[in-house]
Structure 1
Amino acid sequence: MGRLAVAAAVAAWAIPIAALVDSIVPEPYMDEIFHVPQAQQYCRGDFLTWDPMITTPPGLYYVSLVYVASLFPGAWMIRLAETFDALCSTAVLRSTNVIMAMVCAVLFHDLLLCIRPGIGTRKATIYAILVALYPVHWFFTFVYYTDVASLATVLAMYLSCLKKRFWVSAMFGAFSILFRQTNVIWMIFVAANGAISYTQDIYLKDNVSHESSESAHQSNKVVPGKGSKITAQGLRRRRTNSPMRKKGAVSESTKLYNSLAEEVWDISLKLWNSKCEVLIAFAPFAIVMVAFIAFIIWNGGIVLGAKEAHVVSPHFAQFLYFGLVSAAALLPWHFTPSRALDLVRWFGKSKTCSSLAVSMALGLSIIAVHFFSIAHPYLLADNRHYTFYIWRKVIQVNWVMKYILIPLYVYSWFSIINILGKSQTRVWVLSFILSVALVLVPAPLVEFRYYTIPFIILVLHSPIIGTGKLLSLGFLYVIADLFTMVMFLFRPFHWEHEPGTQRFMW
């Protein structure tokens, strides 16, 4: 019932708005001028022609082909190439992402129930609908970009891995790379944490089976005295089935460690002791990784086209931007008096270490902002992105503003780490931080849509909040969505050429 309600809720607003977008903006918009013609080439059966401005693999176009063929099976079966090409209109291609948005919401619902089984179907449904309204994800539901389908495959990969369907998970991981190459980082993140969980389960099963064998051995011993055999067996049985013993066995596999180094050492030891089982179970991910490395060698880099505009750069400020944007998008979690007090108490547990950590974070952030803050030509030239205005009107409004924002960056990241640390191990939190850095730091262009996948993972692992706070956040999302759509639909653009750049003006 929860899945159906989520899918119906997303469809209820996505389908009418998609129709409105297509009626007002019927022609390809922004990067659609590259994606739509390329998909139409595929619809004509031309799989060899490639637009050199497209940087991502053709996963979206293959999905659109399957989708259009399912809508118009007759045209596909009789292979009327010209007719089928006409069916791949901008509106039909855009509707691919409407379907993908429904899939994303359902997958998020199932993931939340898997990660937090006590949340309940009703709360999981509200969460899934809220995520579908997340403004960045919501906007790209109605244009022909790769982001929504990319998110769907990553969520499917994550869910399959949590359910220990590793071959299926690796298959979705391979599909996700066909939408966006950086998804290989999320595949490694999912596989690594899946392997750790897998070894913990092996360790727990071994302990339980060992204790069971000891119990069986002890129960067969005869205790001297009248009726002692029965008494000993009954006593052993009660001890074996005791909830305290079960609790102890579980806590042994998820025990608290005194330090990150201790946790890493324990996990490494368990992985080494279970290396054969882990290698066999996670071989599918290794196959995908080998294929991806072969692609990079063959292609001469990670991006397909426009390589000069997507050169890997040390954009450490991008990592800071993600922290603030994600914390602001989760306002009830991060920017409340109770959250600030919680952080103060957290720092108060070890004042020396906390002072050192804060000092290091501030120092590294200053270095990142001063030396590794990149203004990509696309960011400066195209005023159809929010980042264009944020960069010019906020970050670059004067020379000191970018430094004033540093405490907010640091606060946001400490809040994120503290929240994740309440439900996840230190190694999991560290792997998440490293994954975010590996995905975002090499990207020279500031794009909020690059933040969507780590943002969704962050929501999945953040504490559950009350329905009232969820509804208030949903209301803010709806306001932001409506504002974005009004700006998109009713403010026409025209071209204005300037020396050395190309700007879109309205």
Structure 2
Amino acid sequence: MGRLAVAAAVAAWAVPVAVLVNSVVPDPYMDEIFHVPQAQRYCRGEFLVWDPMITTPPGLYYISLAYLASLFPGAWAIKVAEAFDLLCTTALLRSTNVIMAMVCGVLVHDLLLCIKPGIGKTKATAYAILVALYPVHWFFTFLYYTDVASLAAVLATYLFCLKKRFWVSAMFGAVSILFRQTNVIWMIFIAANGAITYVQDISPGDYVSHENSSLRNKSNAEGSDRDKKASAPGLRRRRTSSSISKSEFVSGSTKLYTSFIEEICDISFKLWNSKCKVIITFTPFAIVLVVFVAFVIWNGGIVLGAKEAHVVSPHFAQFLYFGLVSAAALLPLHFTPRRVSDLFHMCAKNKTSSFSAMLVALGLSFVAVHFFSIAHPYLLADNRHYTFYIWRKVIQSHWMMKYILIPVYIYSWFSVMSILGKSQTRVWVLSFVFSVALVLIPAPLIEFRYYTIPLVIVVLNSPLIGNGTLLALGSVYAAADLFTLAMFLFKSFHWEHEPGTQRFMW
């Protein structure tokens, strides 16, 4: 089990489904009506022609050119533009994302082995296949969209940063921006946390205060005295082993710091002391960031085309939606009686601060939902998106519904943050939340595709679930995938064979 197993598993369903999709829906679908013709222009060598309705950079088209050139090297070598143009069919362009989906699966597998070294290849393989089955990601594997390739580039950035190959990581960060501009936020998130890890590695000192270190040493000494008094050798071995495992747990725990302020101060102190090394080591990320800022200034904004439809808007409600979607994606970790009970007891330990935090969260969420819930014209116009039905049949079903959902949003975010806090520092969790806010809040359109990258990061850094639960969740994903595919093919067939059907009124 390993990389080959993941790639083979993804290919086993992706290739037949791609063939089925292309046979039923051979023509460009939804946003493909912009992406496919633009890629075909690139195939003809028309690199200076640009569709003003396309908002993202041309990274996907360059990847497709390289992919098609590898499939048909002769046509590229003899530079017969007309012949190469004939190869840029919708089906072949879509197959770019089938390859990218396989790459994503392998990257998730390798990332899990880096983040959770004890997971084992079998479990990492199962998790990678689960991520590949995630319905939103799975659906766009068969269409010519930027999302799958964008996810692959961000995951590669993350993986090589964890491996401390920072120049390679920055290169993939730059590539990720060529697919979607907001990926610059994820590159900064990855680089910032990479810098924190870097200074902690080159600073061998403890991550805790001297006082806490002394208390721990005293506790270890007392444990050793008790071990000496134990008469049974087996008991002595068990106690010694327990002491070691506890020490290892503490050394990787976020509870090493007595407070969040102490954690901030310690990290800031280490970054300042190692500033020269950090600046030199992370220069490639700075170069990419400077070039991106220069582009935004030159372009007059972050999007390339259709700027009037993608105006930056304070869509704070979108931030809340992501919390619910990410918690629902890992349902067994968040929505169980045991999980609810654990969170309740966690809040009960510190009633004053928990109650205050809850009031603040309720107040801010109410303001976000009441004043900053945006219904983009694209959301209301096209019923080929699930968000169209969620908005009309759930959120807008009754004027009270959007307020009733506020406690669910808060619970979801609280559960996600507390789970991430078990494996990552509080600074990491805070930077993740801030990155999600920067990516989602300015986006006026509710689109689950935008949630895929942060959701996969949540999956990678969440506790492992049991094999049975993992299989059950994978089955739910697979059922949702099949339902989505059936509805997609049915609607596409219906529209194609019923010319009089109103596209947006079906």
- Relative to the length of structure 1, the TM-score reads 0.89
SS at match of 2:256: coil
Whether the 8 Å contact between 2:316 and 2:441 is mirrored in structure 1 is: yes
Corresponding residue of 1:82: 82
Confirm whether residue 431 of structure 1 aligns to residue 435 of structure 2: no
Task: Give the C-alpha shift of residue 247 in structure 1.
Answer: 5.8
Q: Please list, as runs of the form range in 1=range in 2, the aligned pairs for 1:187-206 lying within 5 A after superposition.
A: 187-204=187-204
Q: Please list, as runs of the form range in 1=range in 2, the aligned pairs for 1:300-319 lying within 5 A after superposition.
A: 300-319=300-319
Q: Please list, as runs of the form range in 1=range in 2, the aligned pairs for 1:103-142 lying within 5 A after superposition.
A: 103-142=103-142
Over 3 Å counting, the alpha-carbon distance change for 1:152 and 1:248 in structure 2 is closer
Confirm whether residue 493 of structure 1 aligns to residue 495 of structure 2: yes
Equivalents in 2 of 1:503, 1:8: separation in Å?
A: 37
- Relative to the length of structure 2, the TM-score reads 0.89
Over 3 Å counting, the alpha-carbon distance change for 1:205 and 1:43 in structure 2 is farther
Equivalents in 2 of 1:328, 1:268: separation in Å?
A: 35
Task: Give the C-alpha shift of residue 325 in structure 1.
Answer: 1.0
Which has the larger displacement, 162-171 or 198-207?
Answer: 198-207
Corresponding residue of 2:41: 41
Corresponding residue of 1:414: 414
Equivalents in 2 of 1:122, 1:137: separation in Å?
A: 22
Whether the 8 Å contact between 2:39 and 2:61 is mirrored in structure 1 is: yes
Q: Please list, as runs of the form range in 1=range in 2, the aligned pairs for 1:229-268 lying within 5 A after superposition.
A: 251=251, 256-268=256-268
Corresponding residue of 2:298: 298
Equivalents in 2 of 1:267, 1:205: separation in Å?
A: 12
Which has the larger displacement, 196-205 or 266-275?
Answer: 196-205
Corresponding residue of 1:212: none
Which residues of structure 1 form unaligned runs of 5+? 208-242
Q: Once the two structures are superposed, what CA deviation does each residue of 1:1-29 show, in whole Å capped at 9, x if it has no partner?
A: 40000000000000000000000000000
Q: Once the two structures are superposed, what CA deviation does each residue of 1:237-285 show, in whole Å capped at 9, x if it has no partner?
A: xxxxxx97x9699939976112211111110010000000100100000
Equivalents in 2 of 1:405, 1:254: separation in Å?
A: 31
Equivalents in 1 of 2:206, 2:482: separation in Å?
A: 55
Equivalents in 1 of 2:71, 2:98: separation in Å?
A: 14
Equivalents in 1 of 2:108, 2:295: separation in Å?
A: 30
Quick one: percent identity of the two aligned structures? Answer: 77
Corresponding residue of 1:165: 165
Corresponding residue of 2:70: 70
Q: Once the two structures are superposed, what CA deviation does each residue of 1:417-438 show, in whole Å capped at 9, x if it has no partner?
A: 1101111110000000000000
Corresponding residue of 2:463: 463
Task: Give the C-alpha shift of residue 80 in structure 1.
Answer: 1.1
Q: Once the two structures are superposed, what CA deviation does each residue of 1:375-426 show, in whole Å capped at 9, x if it has no partner?
A: 0000000000000000000000111010010010000000001101111110
SS at match of 2:118: helix
Whether the 8 Å contact between 2:324 and 2:413 is mirrored in structure 1 is: yes
Corresponding residue of 1:57: 57
Task: Give the C-alpha shift of residue 338 in structure 1.
Answer: 1.0
Whether the 8 Å contact between 2:98 and 2:142 is mirrored in structure 1 is: yes
Corresponding residue of 2:220: none
SS at match of 1:119: coil
Whether the 8 Å contact between 1:21 and 1:489 is mirrored in structure 2 is: yes
Over 3 Å counting, the alpha-carbon distance change for 1:279 and 1:247 in structure 2 is farther
Query: How many equivalent residue pairs?
Result: 467
Equivalents in 2 of 1:267, 1:341: separation in Å?
A: 33
CA RMSD of aligned residues (A): 2.1
Task: Give the C-alpha shift of residue 505 in structure 1.
Answer: 3.5
Which residues of structure 2 form unaligned runs of 5+? 208-242
Corresponding residue of 1:238: none
Whether the 8 Å contact between 1:316 and 1:372 is mirrored in structure 2 is: yes
Corresponding residue of 2:332: 332
Task: Give the C-alpha shift of residue 493 in structure 1.
Answer: 2.9
SS at match of 2:57: coil
SS at match of 1:117: coil
